[in-house]
Structure 1
Amino acid sequence: MASSEGPRRAAVLGSPIAHSLSPVLHRAAYAELGLDHWSYDRFDVDEAGLPGFFAGLDATWAGLSLTMPLKRAVIPLLDGISDTAASVEAVNTVVFTRDGRRVGDNTDIPGMVAALRERGVDKVESAAVLGAGATASSALAALSQICAGPVTTYVRSRARADEMRGWGDRLGVEVSVADWADAAEAFAAPLVVATTPAGTTDALAAAVPAAPGTLFDVLYEPWPTALATAWADRGGAVVGGLDLLVHQAVLQVEQMTGRSPAPLAAMRAAGEAALAAR
């Protein structure tokens, strides 16, 4: 783990990156933990620029957070990755160890599980996933820990359908695939995970039934989404993207600083304030 002596640096990398909330969350954690010598920044880095960025890092660096499009591109630059990261071929966290190694992990998956458990969702008999991108594979990995039965994924193309079946086989999840045109059928499941870009599920809001189960919508801006609003209005439980972002950041802070537990409440409050100010 990172040394507590001297200045320590961390940052989030991605492209685009200007709207990332990660600096707000991590800096709030440092303030709460009294880590005055720690700094956390953001850098717009694409896949082509990533090797050069890594080459310029010195011993003051403790860790990196990674967002799109770098979660897979970073893997060849690392000395090792966790089983969790390997399970979905995606790294969102890099820790620089005392002996100079670069180790990758994925905190999105345990972050999803923690966000759901915070709202009392420990086990479900079935679930549905809207979408089939990178976040959907992480959702399947999280569901492998809490879903006892089948997961239905709603996708737009045959290629995406094949991808989701492949991820299901790899993660040990019983996956069935349905067409996006039938996505409203997902709402019968006790847990629905929406992993699609902003606006994609807006047209489905009118189809939310009375007394739905739990919706996990991974978006945090704009928030609430039309789907989340309709869901809450009909009495369903809603877990949002900020919940995911905070829980995965908590794990990043703990790994990078070696301090545990990270201050979840302070980090969430900082994130909420930053979003409200936008």
Structure 2
Amino acid sequence: MAAARRAAVLGSPIAHSLSPVLHRAAYAALGLDDWAYDRFEVDEAGLPGFVGELDDSWAGLSLTMPLKRAIIPLLDEISDTAASVEAVNTVVFREDGRRFGDNTDIPGMIAALRERGVEKVESAAVLGAGATASSALAALARICAGPVTAYVRSEARAEEMRGWGERLDVDVRTADWERAAEAFDEPLVIATTPAGTTNALANDVPDRVGTLFDVLYDPWPTALAAAWSDRGGKVVGGLDLLVHQAVLQVEQMTGVPKAPLAAMRAAGEQALAAR
């Protein structure tokens, strides 16, 4: 039986994406038997053609790298949240045919932290720069009362992070990556770097730590997350972020008031364990 409603995640590379696992688990739990969710390898050059060929059966799209900014010119409207970081990870096709873009990464980060009991902090640190780091700053704009120190590898990256701070009204201070272990004195540390980047810092984790939010989920735990947990600190992982942002996507695309968080997380954990 052909699906009555369709959605998918687009990106390049895309084979590693857990989004189909999470969304399909949601559809199953919600009894949406005529919904389908797939993944497609699409780069920036192929994006306009792909979107232009979608028919009325499509409810929405999830976007990963490198498409979060490339999708914006193809949309009719984007949310204030997406505009604040110039990145869209969610597209909803409305009944009137308009294409609406949103960013669920930012509220997903906030929800993942809140689930671990972190609602407000006086200061924070971000490890790394780039798209995920800018989303982290946008989340911190809502929950951090004081300064945020970004640890980066170059002056160009430092300028980029300070620029995002000005745009998002966050007091961003920058420091060289060689001093990254100093971040561990902060009540909240958000690690946004690629796999392996923070491994060398695991030996520098002090005896008393606050909360670490490491956005990676495969491999998991990272060396830093494992060391942090061993010291008794709170750890929020990339799967937490992935699940919470996917919950918001499911709710927007299907119109259900509450997506099945527990079922989606269980499916994600099972899929990761099988890798």
Letter aligned with residue 265 of structure 1: A
Distance in 1 between residues matched to 2:236 and 2:28, nearest whole Å: 26
Structure 1 residue 249 and structure 2 residue 246: aligned?
yes
Distance in 2 between residues matched to 1:209 and 1:190, nearest whole Å: 13
How far the C-alpha of 1:211 sits from its partner, in A, is 1.9
TM-score (norm 1): 0.98
Structure 1 residue 36 and structure 2 residue 33: aligned?
yes
* Aligned partner (choices 109, 113, 118) of residue 110 of structure 2: 113
- Deviation per CA, 1:184-232, whole angstroms, max 9, x where unpaired? 0000000000000000000000000012000000000000000000000
- Deviation per CA, 1:126-159, whole angstroms, max 9, x where unpaired? 0000000100000000000110000000000111
* Aligned partner (choices 93, 97, 100) of residue 100 of structure 1: 97
Superposition map of 1:193-212 within 5 A: 193-212=190-209
Distance in 2 between residues matched to 1:263 and 1:58, nearest whole Å: 27
* Aligned partner (choices 191, 216, 240) of residue 237 of structure 2: 240
Q: Give percent identity, aligned residues only.
A: 83
Distance in 2 between residues matched to 1:180 and 1:153, nearest whole Å: 9
Distance in 2 between residues matched to 1:67 and 1:269, nearest whole Å: 22
Distance in 2 between residues matched to 1:99 and 1:133, nearest whole Å: 35
* Aligned partner (choices 75, 78, 95) of residue 78 of structure 1: 75
* Partner residue in 2 for 1:69: 66
* Partner residue in 2 for 1:52: 49
- Deviation per CA, 1:157-199, whole angstroms, max 9, x where unpaired? 1111001000000001000000000000000000000000000
Letter aligned with residue 64 of structure 2: T
Secondary structure of the residue aligned to 1:121 is coil
* Partner residue in 2 for 1:3: none
Secondary structure of the residue aligned to 1:18 is coil
Distance in 2 between residues matched to 1:36 and 1:100, nearest whole Å: 24
* Partner residue in 1 for 2:18: 21
Counting matched residue pairs gives: 273
Distance in 2 between residues matched to 1:222 and 1:141, nearest whole Å: 26
How far the C-alpha of 1:39 sits from its partner, in A, is 0.1
Structure 2 gaps, min length 5: none
- Deviation per CA, 1:31-62, whole angstroms, max 9, x where unpaired? 00000010000000000000010111000000
Letter aligned with residue 85 of structure 1: A
* Aligned partner (choices 124, 129, 133) of residue 132 of structure 1: 129
Letter aligned with residue 24 of structure 1: V
Distance in 1 between residues matched to 2:258 and 2:206, nearest whole Å: 39
* Partner residue in 1 for 2:186: 189
Letter aligned with residue 143 of structure 1: L
* Partner residue in 1 for 2:141: 144
Distance in 1 between residues matched to 2:155 and 2:125, nearest whole Å: 18
Structure 1 residue 155 and structure 2 residue 152: aligned?
yes
Letter aligned with residue 54 of structure 1: V
Secondary structure of the residue aligned to 1:140 is helix
RMSD: 0.5
Structure 1 residue 214 and structure 2 residue 211: aligned?
yes
Letter aligned with residue 166 of structure 2: D
Distance in 1 between residues matched to 2:199 and 2:215, nearest whole Å: 14
Letter aligned with residue 192 of structure 2: T
